[in-house]
């Protein structure tokens, strides 16, 4: 058995140790080269390179490969990473990138330096869309001169690994991927300006100030890639619509998108079919087909499809809907792979608070006997129709069930604590903020609960492209320009994207819905010695973001025209974010006069995008971006995540200097989270992925009462508060039990990742 050599022996006998290079050739071990790489990887970080070199040399042996040396260095750095020495994860990230550079050099004969050659090669191999060749060789050469390879070295290990494994195409390098995306985004600009815009896009993306959603970053460069993250469809109560909806779901899944499907119009269990009473199997069999479609049509072989199925809370099948992921019961009426969602009107929440009765009804019977399509109504119209329906119970209407609203809500909560779902979508809040009330209504929310707009069955399916501003990496002075770029990038993707079915394309053309999000709020706060209790500062930040993004879309309307359905919209009436009158902004903003001017400009010039901002979960994208996810507190200040090749340290970027300013969400009062999200929601015109995390251990929230634990009443009050304060949806409910996470799959696999 071959023994590893000590550091002293290596230093004395390094010329006798043979190393296998990446191209297969042999060379003598040269410690000075290893030392140079170690010093390069450690430069500027609060680490001691000597400890890394010492950790490596005990592992060297004759016949070792350069790849093994690199991997050993990475493992040594990861092992030394701790809350006190978090910078080792950046050292490991640089070593991962170094390995990528060397592999690329071996595979294609060069690293950075010949971008036109890279483009031609990728187009010829079918990896790049040929449209990149709309740029001349001279233009590609100029673009290649913008590349800054040092930006590759900013990633920690988790970010470097995710970037290289999930997003790069073959022997592509990170800056080549970002530059190609930027050039394609710039290709829709006027010829004389496209290189200028492409450079601005590239620098914002490559410096991790703007994060592209996965469908854009992964698919923009490939031929006919779909760039949209979020889709919502609605199914009518007939076979043709049902199977068309299933087919559309398959198309979306094939192209890597996540889909929301509303099934509230479908008749309930025990309803009539072709005049025969008690013949309908209800919504569950159709949901099961959607479930199996998500499994069968995986996202390009990368992962199972992702479908959230929504039902309005008045539907007679709601009790069974809440049980369809339980272990007991008829397996033929189970759907374990979809993500259930309940659509909730204000009237239901009022009855929950007042402990009043709630009536579950069959939409088919109501439609046939009373002429009411309840699923398309909201607010006062819904309440009036619902009173009419309840008055007809027992006489005109025979298929119904009366329950206590509070008890039904307890059943919902029980399911949330056990499985993390259903998601909750507050329908009236969502539709009151809808700028396109003149064209229809919003039936439900998307897979990650942050993106939604009008859906017209068979004609327009909600379709949205996303990116995010990385608050950890920008300064206040940069915010106006970054918001402007983020909006322009997404508007350009609409013209570059190929939606997977006709109704999605129609929606794109009619509404031009986009979603500029944010990530790294916890970092932004910590960097400024603020916390989630600083609601005024949080409000001021997101007011600025809301203003700059809305202003950018108005500027695009001057340049390119307003979205097709602008006339008659709330925007056209002078209302602004969330369809609120301009007087609200004068009373509640830092600078009321700018909102007045913006309202007047939009009425005169229009606005390019019907919805502009939406904050996605960004769970994995934030690792690539090197910041905390979305706008929520960090789950833990420092932890090791289990990956295929071992454990990987995860920590926020400013942990070393601001450790105590990071709230750990697993120990943080969720009512404070709700208040922060509600504060942000005022300035976000679509939605926010609000995950709530409840710790069920003793004394966590009540330090003066060490035996006290969180009760169902506390969770109930938090959810009611979310509705009362104007939050539009509740994403996952997660729990911590016995000092460990009860892990629930909360990765947004469409919008953010």
Q: In this structure, which CATH number among 3.20.70.20, 3.40.50.300, 3.40.50.720, 3.10.450.50 belongs to the domain 450-685?
A: 3.20.70.20
Contact predicate 338/324, CB 8 Å: no
Out of 72, 431, 446, 508, pick the active-site residue. Answer: 446
CA atoms within 13 A on the CB side of 241: 17
**135 DSSP 8-state letter:** S
CB proximity list for 283: less than 8 A, separation 6 or greater: 263, 266, 268, 269, 311, 315, 317, 321
Position 57 scores a pLDDT of 72
Position 327 scores a pLDDT of 85
Sequential DSSP letters for 512-524: --EEEEEE-HHHH
Rounded CA gap, 56 and 75, in Å?
9
Vertex 617: Cα angle to 611 and 621 (nearest 5): 105
Task: Tell me which residue has tokens 């995306």.
Answer: 181
Position 24 scores a pLDDT of 86
- Residue 691 CA to its chain's centroid (Å): 12
Query: Which residues sit opposite 468 in a β-bridge?
Result: 211, 517
Rounded CA gap, 47 and 303, in Å?
38
Position 745 scores a pLDDT of 41
**Tokens linked to 172:** 């592509």
Domain boundaries, the chain: 26-105, 111-206, 228-403, 450-685
**Tokens linked to 745:** 């799959």
Task: Please state the φ and ψ torsions of residue 347, each to the nearest 5 degrees.
Answer: -60, -40
Rounded CA gap, 225 and 215, in Å?
8
Q: Strand, helix or coil at 256?
A: coil
**Tokens linked to 16:** 């006798």
**21 DSSP 8-state letter:** -
The H or E element spanning position 162 is helix 157-162
Contact predicate 749/708, CB 8 Å: no
**166 DSSP 8-state letter:** I
Contact predicate 59/87, CB 8 Å: no
Q: What is the pTM of this model?
A: 0.94
Pairing verdict, β 357-361 and 646-650: unpaired
Task: Tell me which residue has tokens 């060789």.
Answer: 137
With 0-12 / 13-18 / 19 or more C-beta atoms within 10 angstroms meaning exposed / middle / buried, residue 745 is: exposed
Contact predicate 717/671, CB 8 Å: yes
Rounded CA gap, 458 and 445, in Å?
18
Out of 181, 448, 464, 751, pick the active-site residue. Answer: 448
User: Is residue 448 among the annotated active site residues?
Assistant: yes
Q: For the chain, which ranges sit under pLDDT 70?
A: 1-15, 58, 299-304, 644-645, 738-753
Position 193 scores a pLDDT of 96
- Residue 689 CA to its chain's centroid (Å): 8
Q: What's 305-371 look like in SS3?
A: CEEEEEEECCECCHHHHHHCCCCCCCHHHCCCCCEEEEEECHHHHHHHHHCCEEEEECHHHHHHHHC
Out of 244, 347, 450, 570, pick the active-site residue. Answer: 450
Task: Tell me which residue has tokens 């009107």.
Answer: 345
**227 DSSP 8-state letter:** -
User: Is residue 475 among the annotated active site residues?
Assistant: no
User: Is residue 454 among the annotated active site residues?
Assistant: no
């Amino acid at each position: 058995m071959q023994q590893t050599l000590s550091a002293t022996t290596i230093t004395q006998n390094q010329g006798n140790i043979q190393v296998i290079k990446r191209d297969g050739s042999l060379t003598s071990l040269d410690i000075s080269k290893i030392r140079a790489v170690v010093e390069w990887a450690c430069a500027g970080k609060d680490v001691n390179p000597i400890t890394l070199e010492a950790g490596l040399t005990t592992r060297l042996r004759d016949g070792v490969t350069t790849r093994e040396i690199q991997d050993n260095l990475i493992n040594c750095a990861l092992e030394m990473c701790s809350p006190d020495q978090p910078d080792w994860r950046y050292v490991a990230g640089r070593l991962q990138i170094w390995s990528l550079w060397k592999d690329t050099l071996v595979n294609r004969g060069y690293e950075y330096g010949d971008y036109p050659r890279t483009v031609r090669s990728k187009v010829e191999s079918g990896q790049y869309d040929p449209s990149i060749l709309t740029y001349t060789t001279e233009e590609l050469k100029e673009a290649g001169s913008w590349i800054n390879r040092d930006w590759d070295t900013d990633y920690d290990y988790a970010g470097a690994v995710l970037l290289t494994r999930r997003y790069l195409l073959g022997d592509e390098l990170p800056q080549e991927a970002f530059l190609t995306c930027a050039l394609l985004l710039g290709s829709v600009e006027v010829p004389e300006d496209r290189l200028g815009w492409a450079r601005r896009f590239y620098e914002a993306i490559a410096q991790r100030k703007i994060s592209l959603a996965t469908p854009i970053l992964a698919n923009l460069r490939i031929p006919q890639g779909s760039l949209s993250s979020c889709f919502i469809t609605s199914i009518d109560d007939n076979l043709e619509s049902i199977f068309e909806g299933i087919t559309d779901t398959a198309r979306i899944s094939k192209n890597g998108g996540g889909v929301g499907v509303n099934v509230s119009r479908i008749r309930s269990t025990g309803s009539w079919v072709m005049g025969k009473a008690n013949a309908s199997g209800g919504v569950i069999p159709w949901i099961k087909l959607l479930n199996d479609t998500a499994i069968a049509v995986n996202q390009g072989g990368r992962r199972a499809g992702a479908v959230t199925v929504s039902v309005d809370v008045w539907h007679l099948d709601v009790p069974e809907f809440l049980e369809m992921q339980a272990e007991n019961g008829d397996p033929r009426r189970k759907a374990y792979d979809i993500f259930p969602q309940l659509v909730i009107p204000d009237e239901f929440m009022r009855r929950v608070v007042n402990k009043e009765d709630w009536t579950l009804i069959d939409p088919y019977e109501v439609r046939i006997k009373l002429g009411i399509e309840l699923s398309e109504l909201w607010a006062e119209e819904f309440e009036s129709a619902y009173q009419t329906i309840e008055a007809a119970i027992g006489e005109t209407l025979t298929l119904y069930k009366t329950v206590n609203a509070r008890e039904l809500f307890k059943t919902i909560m029980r399911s949330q604590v056990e499985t993390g779902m259903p998601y909750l979508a507050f329908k009236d809040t969502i539709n009151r903020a809808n700028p396109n009330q003149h064209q229809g209504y919003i039936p439900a929310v998307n897979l990650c609960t942050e993106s939604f707009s009008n859906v017209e069955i068979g004609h327009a399916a909600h379709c949205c492209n996303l990116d995010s501003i990385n608050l950890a990496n920008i300064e206040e002075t940069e915010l106006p320009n970054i918001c402007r770029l983020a909006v322009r990038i997404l508007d350009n993707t609409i013209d570059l994207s190929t939606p997977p079915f006709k109704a999605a394309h129609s929606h794109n053309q009619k509404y031009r819905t986009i979603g500029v999000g944010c990530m790294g709020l916890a970092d932004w706060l910590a960097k400024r010695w603020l916390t989630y209790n600083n609601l005024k500062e949080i409000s001021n930040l997101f007011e600025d973001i809301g203003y700059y993004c809305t202003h950018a879309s108005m500027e695009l309307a001057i340049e390119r025209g307003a979205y097709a359905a602008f006339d008659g919209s709330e925007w056209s009436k002078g209302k602004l974010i969330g369809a609120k009158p301009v007087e609200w902004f004068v009373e509640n903003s830092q600078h009321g006069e700018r909102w007045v001017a913006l309202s007047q400009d939009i009425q005169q010039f229009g606005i390019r995008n019907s919805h502009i901002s939406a904050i996605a979960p960004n769970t994995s994208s934030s690792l690539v971006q090197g910041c905390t996810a979305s706008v929520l507190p960090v789950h833990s200040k420092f932890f090791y995540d289990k990956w295929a090749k071992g454990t990987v340290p995860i920590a926020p970027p400013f942990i070393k200097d601001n450790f105590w300013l990071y709230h750990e969400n697993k120990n943080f009062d969720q009512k404070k989270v709700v208040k922060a999200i509600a504060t942000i929601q005022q300035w976000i015109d679509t939605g926010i992925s609000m995950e709530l995390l409840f710790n069920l251990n003793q004394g966590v929230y009540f330090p003066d009462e060490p035996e006290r634990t969180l009760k169902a009443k506390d969770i109930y009050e938090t959810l009611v508060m979310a509705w009362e304060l104007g939050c539009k949806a509740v994403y996952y409910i997660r729990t911590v039990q016995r000092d460990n996470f009860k892990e629930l799959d909360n990765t947004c696999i469409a919008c953010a990742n």
